């Protein structure tokens, strides 16, 4: 039994197909890398926004506690003459 070897044209066609597949995958990988770089570039801004939000929440909590303390401070004064 003899094995038929592919011709040079067949080999070239097959290699061309495989090269096209590899090129397409490489293009996709490049696009993914660009998307990742863009996403990574946005991270510092997002972190800064979160830090600002955290500070605002702390300030709101502090104001809420102060308002509560002021309300409680009024109670003994109002109930004193009773």
pLDDT in tens, 42-52: 999 999 999 99
d(CA 7, CA 78): 104
Residue with the bigger pLDDT between 70 and 62: it is: 62
Q: pLDDT for 4-56, tens place per residue?
A: 899 999 999 999 999 999 999 999 999 999 999 999 999 999 999 999 999 99
Q: What is the Cα–Cα distance from 8 to 16, expressed in whole angstroms?
A: 12
Q: What is the model's pTM?
A: 0.57
pLDDT band of 3, cuts 50, 70, 90? confident
């Amino acid at each position: 039994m003899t094995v038929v070897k592919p011709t040079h044209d067949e080999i070239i066609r097959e290699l061309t197909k495989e090269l096209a597949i590899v090129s397409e995958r490489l293009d996709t990988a490049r696009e993914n890398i660009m998307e990742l770089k863009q996403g990574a570039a946005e991270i510092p801004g997002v972190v800064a926004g979160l830090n600002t939000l955290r500070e605002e929440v702390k300030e709101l909590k502090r104001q809420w506690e102060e308002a509560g303390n002021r309300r409680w401070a009024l109670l003994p004064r109002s109930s004193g003459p009773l």
